[in-house]
Amino acid sequence: MAFPSYVKTIFYSIAMILALVFSLLGPAMGQLIVGFYSSTCPNAEEIVSSVVQEAVQEDPTMAAALLRLHYHDCFVQGCDGSILIDGSDAERQASNHAGVRGFEVIERAKAQIEDVCAGVVSCADIVVLAARDAIALSNGPQYQVPTGRRDGQRSNVSDADTMPDSGDSIQLLKAKFGEKGLSEKDLVLLTGAHTIGTTACFFLERRLYDFQPGGGSDPTINPQLLPELKSQCPQNGDVNVRLGLDRGSDQTFDVQILHNIRDGFGVLESDAKLYTNESTRQIIDSYSGFPSSTFGPFFERDFIDSIVRMGQIGVKTGLNGEIRRVCSAFN
């Protein structure tokens, strides 16, 4: 049966309205997209970039701290800002998060954003954006990240028990990454985040002085590196002394970290272990020499793929979670 023209017009109008509604609801119903806040808080990413730039200018080591904060947040409960909650039993108190910092930078960005568009931008997204900006400020690649995460409503110290640890075996590291949907290549590339930043002598004590029965050092440490590490971290010395993770290039984001691991100059035990395993060794080698520098694979580009993938672990979107008023406390 034929419908009158005015009925067809009404149907068409309804269809257009529904299409518009669903296009607007799409992101709100659980989809991460680049530019999620373009209409609801258009200056959000610019504010985060400005706050991060100021923080890194004041303290150049803050770039690595913000990158590490992103990693630690995503590996526990997913990328939901759970590490930001402050409290005696909160996740950030876990020993596996020892030394994680940068919380005040996230809070500063959140406060400035709340002044212009309250209740819109999640702390979880600010963590991801801050890590992206920290990489760029370390002469690393610039890239876009999808946003639209919401903040979690749980943060408990016991949740961090499954965090990857510097003393884990290579098989355990692979398993922990696999549980998060990340591959062996992601393991290598995300370890490459150690291209910037420092570690404490505390994490080197066993590797330098008690690695084998009866004492002794890890034999995979390059003989040129061993006396350097021991001079910076003497036995029974101050375990809080910090040293660069990427020998000769610890404030510049580049592929040098993988070259150092290949040559026995990896500072952390977990980094060095990547070259003792056949499959991860092959991945590291693929980023060395003329073919890689000319034809690929390219470390910076592949790192972006991995960190964007990590940033989507266990995200809460749509009606899940909340948008915190301050990042250190639930609403």
Is residue 327 a contact partner of residue 126, using CB atoms and an 8 Å limit? yes
Q: Is the pLDDT of residue 14 over 70?
A: no
Q: Is the pLDDT of residue 221 over 90?
A: yes
Count of beta carbons in the 10 Å neighbourhood of residue 177: 21
Which of the four pLDDT bands, split at 50, 70 and 90, describes residue 213?
A: confident
Least confident of 110-114, 190-194, 209-213: 209-213
The full 3-state SS of 153-198, as one line of letters, equals: CCCCHHHHHHCCCCCCCHHHHHHHHHHCCCCHHHHHHHHHHHHECE
pLDDT at 28: 45
pLDDT in tens, 109-119: 999 999 999 99
pLDDT in tens, 19-60: 344 344 444 445 899 999 999 999 999 999 999 999 999 999
Let me know if 7 is exposed, middle or buried by CB neighbors in 10 A (0-12, 13-18, 19+).
exposed
pLDDT in tens, 52-74: 999 999 999 999 999 999 999 99
d(CA 205, CA 217): 9
Mean of pLDDT values over 279-288 = 95
Which of the four pLDDT bands, split at 50, 70 and 90, describes residue 212?
A: confident
Mean of pLDDT values over 284-290 = 87
Tokens representing residue 128 in the block = 């991801």
Distances (CA, A) of 304 to 21, 34, 135, 209: 33, 14, 10, 36
Any known ligand binding at 246?
yes
Chain-wide mean pLDDT for the chain?
91
Q: Is the pLDDT of residue 276 over 90?
A: yes
pLDDT at 232: 97
The number of angstroms, rounded, from the C-alpha of 21 to the middle of its chain's C-alpha atoms is: 34
Any known ligand binding at 194?
yes
Any known ligand binding at 252?
no
Beta strands in 182-287 (DSSP E): 198-200, 242-244
Q: Is the pLDDT of residue 18 over 90?
A: no
Is residue 229 a contact partner of residue 266, using CB atoms and an 8 Å limit? no
Any known ligand binding at 80?
yes
Which of the four pLDDT bands, split at 50, 70 and 90, describes residue 10?
A: low
pLDDT at 9: 53
pLDDT at 38: 97
Any known ligand binding at 238?
no
pLDDT at 37: 98
pLDDT at 295: 67
pLDDT in tens, 292-319: 667 668 999 999 999 999 999 999 999 9
Let me know if 68 is exposed, middle or buried by CB neighbors in 10 A (0-12, 13-18, 19+).
buried
Any known ligand binding at 271?
no
Any known ligand binding at 165?
no
Is residue 176 a contact partner of residue 183, using CB atoms and an 8 Å limit? no
pLDDT in tens, 125-155: 999 999 999 999 999 999 999 999 999 999 9
**pLDDT: which is higher, 282 or 288:** 282
Is residue 97 a contact partner of residue 91, using CB atoms and an 8 Å limit? yes
Is residue 297 a contact partner of residue 305, using CB atoms and an 8 Å limit? no
Percent of the chain scored above 70 by pLDDT? Answer: 89
What domains appear along the chain, each with residue ranges and CATH number? 44-162 (1.10.520.10), 170-310 (1.10.420.10)
Least confident of 116-120, 156-160, 166-170: 166-170
Mind telling me the catalytic residues? Answer: 72
pLDDT at 26: 44
pLDDT at 15: 41
| φ and ψ of 183, to 5 deg | -90, 175
